[in-house]
Structure 1
Amino acid sequence: MVKQAEEFYDYYLDNFLKSQPDIIVPDYDKDTLTAGHWLLPSGYSEEDVLKHEGFVYLITNKINGKMYVGKKFIWSRRSKKQPNGRKKWSKHESDWKNYTSSSKVVNIQIDKHGKDNFTFEILSLHRTRVSTNYTEQKEQMTRDVLHKVNSSGNYMYYNENIACKFFRIK
């Protein structure tokens, strides 16, 4: 099953993402800007980030080196029923600047050790939700977040599943 998923992602990458100009893989340097606690890609400002739909990120625990790969959408969409019965959609900026993670385990660790003991890096920016979702899963599979262990035999990533379809065997 994992092999089928990897073949699908490779096919998807070859036939879809290479034609998508919206993926920006950042380069960090000493002049890297921040938005909230997020390290922004070199040469990008908060206004540049707002031109995108979402991003894939990496959170690293500075104490033990354990990491988490996830995604965050910059914009949320809400519908409101109009008097004529139709729905009107509105776009609102999400809480992305203060967002830590959807992982309870990561949030417990952040509460325990403090935000200053974690780095929050944007790995890639995306102009579509599809691209954001796909790249998160591709990044998680490429990094082997469910199986990779350090020399002590401890998992290197907090991730316990990929897209709620692939789970770490306990």
Structure 2
Amino acid sequence: MKLLATALTAILFLAGCDKAANASGYAANSKLKELTNLQELAAEARERNLPIMLTVGAEWCEFCHILREEVLDPMALGGDYDGKVVFMRYLSIDEHQPIPDMNGQPIRKDELARRYKADLTPTVIFIDGQGQKVAANIVGIANIELYTTLIHKHLNQAYEKMGNPLRLDAMPGQ
């Protein structure tokens, strides 16, 4: 009986390790950078007059994985977006280590997401270098094939609100 209990404990432990490895492995393989310091990112956004696009997600969220794999990673990998037309970061609400907020104060990522009304995952938030929302949130995935077009539409709204003359074509690659 003791041998059975030990074997069962080992199996459960290994299953938990495998799940943790898969979760952390996915984020490590993603091309989209994780948000680690909003204060520094905001300063750079102010300097370049570019919006910040925060994608709020979680490891357990299947739709978050789809969005990262099919839309956000290709956008980040191409090098045409991050730091050029927008600052793109992923905001994992699974991580509970505080990061510096807009004012340098420590904040947990799930609290930061709630501050911007991101109650569901995935949610894409658009803010300026002052931390003000400059376009409506995109909540969920209605049509993955048109998601980049939707992001472009929201970025154009952000540029207009920020007084930035930059505009993106509705369809990427045009």
TM-score, with structure 2 as normaliser:
0.27
* Relative contact order, higher structure (CA 8 A, sep 6+): 1
* Structure showing greater Rg: 2
Instruction: Give the structure with the higher percent helix.
Output: 2
More strand by share: 1
